[in-house]
Amino acid sequence: MVSRGFKQTEVGEIPEDWAVGSLGTLARLTMGRTPARNTPAYWGAGHPWLSIADLHGRYVGTSKEQITGLAAALMEPVPSGTLVMSFKLSIGRVAITTHELYTNEAICHIRDPLPDRDYLFYALQRTDFELYGKQAVKGYTLNSESLRSIQVPVPPLPEQKRIAKILSDTDALINSLNALIAKKQMVKQATMDDLLTGRRRLAGFDTGAGFQQTDIGDIPVDWRVSEVSELGQIIRRQMDPRTHPQEWFQLHGIPEFDNGKSPLTLRGSEIGSSKVRFEPGDVLFSKLNPRIPRVWVPRAGSVNNICSPEFLVLRPSPSLHSQYVSAWFTGGIFFRLVLDAVSGTTGSHQRLDSHSFGRLPVALPPHVEQQAIAKVLSDMDEDIEVLIQRRDKTIKVKQALMDELLTGRTRV
């Protein structure tokens, strides 16, 4: 049953006064090419030459590789302000060029579009390209014929412009939040590096006694350096949750950390391998691919806490502050020491073993100063988290707006 005031089309229900057009009739489509790799004269400083990897934002004007004027003479340039879209493997990455440039053969140039360019930028992002593509070894891919057959809903031009303006304004808000988050993270990192080395002392803690030389650099004379193994107990013993099939567990794994530090609540029968049981206040440090710092002090109060054996678990002694230890583990000095200590080849295959972890140094101020440093950094984290939540909410709002505006369910 078609809704009143709507009609059924190739792209679903749309308002009766909207049209549908194929991309090939709405714009002139051209494709790039790759100059011969075995001709050095084609490659080098000169002109941007885009590959799919360069398409990661609304606008694109620079590229990892460039071609010379000799190679550019063999290709049709893509003017500034042109909509471009990937159509092989990673299908549907859309961007607008900011400079005249060139592309490889996996990127389509959407020239002289009849719809508003910015409207088309968003409309293509809602397209289900699997309806037009075919499965290849590394994913879906389109050919020139299927590319031209892509169907696009076309509202009246004034409405196109209003839709594009609303979504562009939302993108601008998201970008401003991202910039503010990045700025606050940089400020926090600089503050952390200063506080964790004693270069900056919080009010009431500077004794004026100066610094002492240590293996990790100069630190205040009233601080000390200890190895991680001296901070408390490294928990190694594992347990099998399946021996307690009806009990509930809070599972802390690498995916859960990467998903906003959101542990899973599961029955023991639902957990397929042995885990490490830990207590609130323990510090979890990922030994897997430590180039991506993952340090977690789960919230107090939860019961049956377990984590993946890919985490090293430190239970600090009562004289230490868990949040301070966590901050040190994410600081620049410790990060560099960890990278020197890892074993394995590269990337995701690298691991930090518990023995090497235990021998890494930690700079320790008196406990009350640890607590004060941790509070400053925690407050900064909370400010950043508020912005992240606002950013994520705005992204969801934008997605809802796209679903409403680009289907005509909400008219503007």
> HEC states along the chain?
CCCCCEEEECCEEEECCCEEEEHHHHCEEEECCCCCCCCHHHEEEEEEEECHHHCCCCEECCCCEEECHHHHCCCCCECCCCEEEECECCCCCEEEECCCEEECCCEEEEECCCCCHHHHHHHHHCCCHHHCCEEECCEEECCHHHHHCCEEEECCHHHHHHHHHHHHHHHHHHHHHHHHHHHHHHHHHHHHHHHCCCCCCCCCCCCCCCEEEECCEEEECCCEEEEHHHCEEEECCEECHHHCCCCEEEEECHHHHHCCCCCEEEEHHHCCCCEEECCCCCEEEECECCCCCCEECCCCCCCCEEECCCEEEEEECCCCCHHHHHHHHHCHHHHHHHHHHCECCCHHHCECCHHHHHCCEEEECCHHHHHHHHHHHHHHHHHHHHHHHHHHHHHHHHHHHHHHHCCCCCCC
What is the predicted pLDDT for the residue at 140?
A: 67
Q: What is the pLDDT of residues 234-247, one digit of tens each?
A: 999 999 999 999 99
Same domain, yes or no, for 233 and 148?
Answer: no
pLDDT mean across residues, the chain: 92
Same domain, yes or no, for 10 and 144?
Answer: yes
Say if 216 falls within a structural domain.
no
Same domain, yes or no, for 124 and 263?
Answer: no
Same domain, yes or no, for 265 and 133?
Answer: no
Domain limits for position 68 = 6-154
Q: What is the pLDDT of residues 185-213, one digit of tens each?
A: 999 999 999 999 999 999 999 888 899 99
pLDDT exceeds cutoff 60 at 347: no
pLDDT exceeds cutoff 70 at 7: yes
Percent share of the chain, pLDDT over 90: 82
Same domain, yes or no, for 144 and 254?
Answer: no
Same domain, yes or no, for 229 and 126?
Answer: no
Say if 186 falls within a structural domain.
no
Same domain, yes or no, for 17 and 143?
Answer: yes
Q: What is the pLDDT of residues 148-185, one digit of tens each?
A: 999 999 999 999 999 999 999 999 999 999 999 999 99
Question: What is the count of structural domains for the chain?
Answer: 2
Say if 246 falls within a structural domain.
yes
Q: What would the mean pLDDT of 356-368 be, rounded to a whole number? A: 95
**Cα gap 410→404, rounded to integer Å:** 5
Q: What would the mean pLDDT of 39-56 be, rounded to a whole number? A: 95
Q: What is the pLDDT of residues 266-303, one digit of tens each?
A: 999 999 999 999 998 999 999 988 888 899 998 765 67
133 — pLDDT class (breaks 50, 70, 90):
low
Same domain, yes or no, for 138 and 233?
Answer: no
129 — pLDDT class (breaks 50, 70, 90):
confident
Same domain, yes or no, for 15 and 143?
Answer: yes
What is the predicted pLDDT for the residue at 137?
A: 44
In the block, which residue shows the tokens 């180039």? 291
Say if 403 falls within a structural domain.
no
pLDDT exceeds cutoff 80 at 136: no
Cβ atoms of 140 and 168 closer than 8 Å: no
Same domain, yes or no, for 134 and 239?
Answer: no
Domain boundary among 154, 171, 193: 154
pTM: 0.83
Q: What would the mean pLDDT of 335-364 be, rounded to a whole number? A: 84
CATH of the domain at 94: 3.90.220.20
Domain boundary among 139, 154, 169: 154
Say if 75 falls within a structural domain.
yes
Say if 397 falls within a structural domain.
no
Say if 38 falls within a structural domain.
yes
pLDDT exceeds cutoff 60 at 138: no
Cα of first residue to Cα of last residue in the chain, in angstroms, is 24
Say if 394 falls within a structural domain.
no
Q: What is the pLDDT of residues 19-39, one digit of tens each?
A: 999 999 999 999 999 999 999
Q: What is the pLDDT of residues 70-105, one digit of tens each?
A: 999 999 999 999 999 999 878 999 999 999 999 999
What is the predicted pLDDT for the residue at 98?
A: 97
Same domain, yes or no, for 149 and 257?
Answer: no
Domain boundary among 328, 346, 364: 364
pLDDT exceeds cutoff 80 at 344: no
CB atoms under 10 Å from CB of 165, counted, come to 14
